[in-house]
Chains A and B, each alone.
Chain A
Amino acid sequence: MLARLATTALVGLTAHPVGVEVDIGRGLPAVTVVGLGGTAVLEARDRLRAAFGNTGYEWPDRRITVSLPPADLPKQGSGFDLPIAIGLLAAAGSVPATALEGLWAIGELGLAGDVRAVRGVLPAALAARRSSARLLVVPQANLAEAALVPDLRVAGATSLGQVGEWLDGRADLGRPGSPPDTPVPPVEDLTDVRGQALARRALEIAAAGGHNLLLIGPPGAGKTMLARRLPGLLPPLEQDEALEVTQVFSAAGLLGPDAGLIRIRPFRAPHHAISVPGLVGGGQVPRPGEVSLANHGVLFLDELPEFSRMASEALRQPLEEGEVTVSRAMASVRFPARFALIAAANPCPCGHLGDSRFACRCSRTDLHRYASRLSGPLLDRIDLYVQAERLTAEELAGAVEAEPTAPVRARVLAARALQRGRQGTENGRLASTGLAARCQVAPSARRTLMAAVDRLGLSARGFHRALRVARTVADLAGADRVEDHHIKEALGLRHLPIVGDREGQLV
């Protein structure tokens, strides 16, 4: 007998509809799975057999053929267990075939017949709604995630036995409760950061204009503390942004059980030993990497010079285009990767170069090598360079009360509102063509900028970057035109502090 239902296959962030056809025919006992199933899909045979036995269902000892159309779409993962099991129950006549009408299912089976969580349930639910599914059955642990999609009936399963009884009309599945109110963890506050007036100002400008930022300073200056406070300065996630962030986490399998919509901006701080696939995404059917997990949030690269050259090069496309393409034999996938970049670096390998109280122990060769690792395409994409100073005893003692996040955030949001009203995008994303006209530069400010090009050797790219930053500085001040002192502050933030044997260059 033949049974039919539907499920999905995850490719990148998109789930594609996949049919599940199960036929039990006469012949020698065998299970054949056709339709380009990966290893985990083929292993479903063994999980299913054990799950049937331990649930008390008789395994149909006949010729079982499972087809997963479309036959040319590669399928990976264990989410096919549950739909195949349901198809088998119906094909064996254990449950009425009419119960499978318009039914979609996804989930992994344990040997005991328990239904386990899988990744990519949110994309699957979106696909099911697009195809007007009557009902989507998901693992109970993924139910909250599936329930995020409006206008789709979803149900949660805990075991194969429960699903069988439900198909038979003898039991019910878990139904979604009210949408879970994801507790928003307290955002780390800027008031905890002592001193660092210049770096705090740079962070505010970075948040206001969507500029990428490089912090350079000795160990313990508070670079990481500052970076962690950037998400708190950014506006809250819009509904569609939140859904996209949640989709990426779902596809990466990083949503915890009973996780609802992610409402806070992600902060990702990958270690500098990360591989290229870990950073931009990879795998036979690619999974998102750190740049995509940081989408709509902050990507923090601590110890920037320690990242491999390959890894830094791989950041070029996401930084320029706000997305990343990962091509593999089985699929080519585009992931969103629109993040704010904050990088941090020590001034030299030992960390004490330029420090009056500690002697730097690096050789000239060390310094040269260190500086050369910072060059390259990545540096070109960074708008703001700032020195984070070692704290004084007075600052450490906390005698001076630092400004908390709330007022800074208010200024940032006001500046962002100005930009949206004027050009619909952040200053950091303005195109170079016609930039000077858009930025409304005052004549005196223009002269200052030209002088910088002439005398300080500012490059064309540096010119444009300084202009964008100056526009953000003016927006933070609520000024219509970019004035002289805005340009000067911007130029000051384009001055590479001491790094290795490089210093004082305008870049």
Chain B
Amino acid sequence: MATRHPADRGELGRRGEALACSWLTAAGLRIVARNWRCRTGEIDVVAEGQGVLVFCEVKTRRGDGYGTPAAAVDAAKQARLRSLAVAYLHATPHRPCRVRFDVVTVVWPRHGQPQVEHLKGVF
């Protein structure tokens, strides 16, 4: 099935996140929350599987002209995601024995199929 191309950037991000969620579900994870927000920011996807709570950043790009999507998750972004995870654990009744930080990258060219990569436990 040909996927229609997302028009604007916000749309591209949302579609990328949706694609990532289906990818994670296919990988055996259960989606716990999407776009969970607090004062400091937003977590794209929170998922759970086999006693591990996964905080997931989804990065979608049209191509890698400005570097791969994964390269955009720099030290500052990693630090922000960590503090967001702490905030999430305080705000919800989840008491997992382990947490993990994943990055799902989606490269979605203007004319073509999206490519998804799931990087597990990256920081």
Whether a CB of chain B sits under 8 angstroms from the CB of A431 is no
| Bitwise interface map of B from 69 to 91 toward A, beta carbon under 8 Å scored 1, else 0 | 01101000010000000000000
In the complex, whether A61 has a CB less than 8 A from a CB of chain B is yes
Q: Does A27 contact B (CB under 8 A)?
A: yes
| Contact, CB under 8 Å: A61 / B70 | yes
Identify the closest chain B residue to A61 (Cβ): B68
Are B70 and A28 interface neighbours, CB within 8 A?
yes
Query: How many whole Å from B109's CB to the nearest CB in chain A?
Result: 17
A29: CB under 8 A from chain B?
Answer: yes
Q: Does B110 contact A (CB under 8 A)?
A: no
Q: How many residues in B have their beta carbons less than 8 Å from beta carbons of A?
A: 12
Q: Which of B67, B68, B122 contacts A27 (CB 8 A)?
A: B122
Query: Quick one: CB contact mask for A29-52 with B, threshold 8 Å, 1 for yes?
Result: 100000000000000000000000
B120 lies within 8 A of chain A by Cβ:
yes
What's the dominant secondary structure at chain A's contact region? Answer: loop
Cβ B71 vs Cβ A29 within 8 A: yes
* A26 proximal to B (CB < 8 A): yes
Is B66 interfacial (CB-CB < 8 Å)? no
CA distance A61 to B67 in the complex (A): 9
Residues of B within 8 A of A26 (CB): 119-120, 122
A27 to B119, CA, bound (A): 6
Q: Mark A163-205, 1 if CB is under 8 A from B, else 0.
A: 0000000000000000000000000000000000000000000
By beta carbon, the residue of chain B nearest A29 is B71
Alpha-carbon distance A21/B90, docked complex (angstroms): 41
Contact A28 to B120, CB < 8 A, known contacts A61-B68, A61-B70, A61-B71: no
Could you give, for residues 103-123 of chain B, a 1 whenever the CB lies within 8 Å of some chain A CB and a 0 otherwise? 100000000000000011111
B120 with A29: CB separation less than 8 A: no
Instruction: Name the residue on B nearest A27 (C-beta).
Output: B122
Contacts of A29 in B (CB 8 A): 67-68, 70-71
* Bound-complex Cα distance A61 to B68 (A): 8
Contacting residues, chain A, for B71 (C-beta < 8 A): 28-29, 61
Cα separation A61 to B70 with both chains bound (whole Å): 9
Expressed in whole angstroms, the Cα–Cα distance for A26 and B103 within the complex equals 11
- B11-35 contacts to A, CB under 8 A, are none
Q: How far is the CB of B73 from chain A (nearest CB, A)?
A: 5
Shortest Cβ gap from A137 to chain B (Å) = 31
Q: How far is the CA of A61 from the CA of B59 in the complex (A)?
A: 15
In Å, the complex CA distance between A211 and B120 comes to: 73
> In the assembly, what is the distance between CA of A29 and CA of B103, in Å?
11
Enumerate chain A residues within 8 angstroms of B68, measured Cβ to Cβ.
29, 61
A351: min CB distance to chain B, Å: 64
13 A-B contact pairs sorted by A residue (CB < 8 Å) = A26-B119, A27-B119, A28-B70, A28-B71, A28-B73, A28-B78, A28-B122, A28-B123, A29-B67, A29-B68, A61-B70, A61-B71, A63-B122
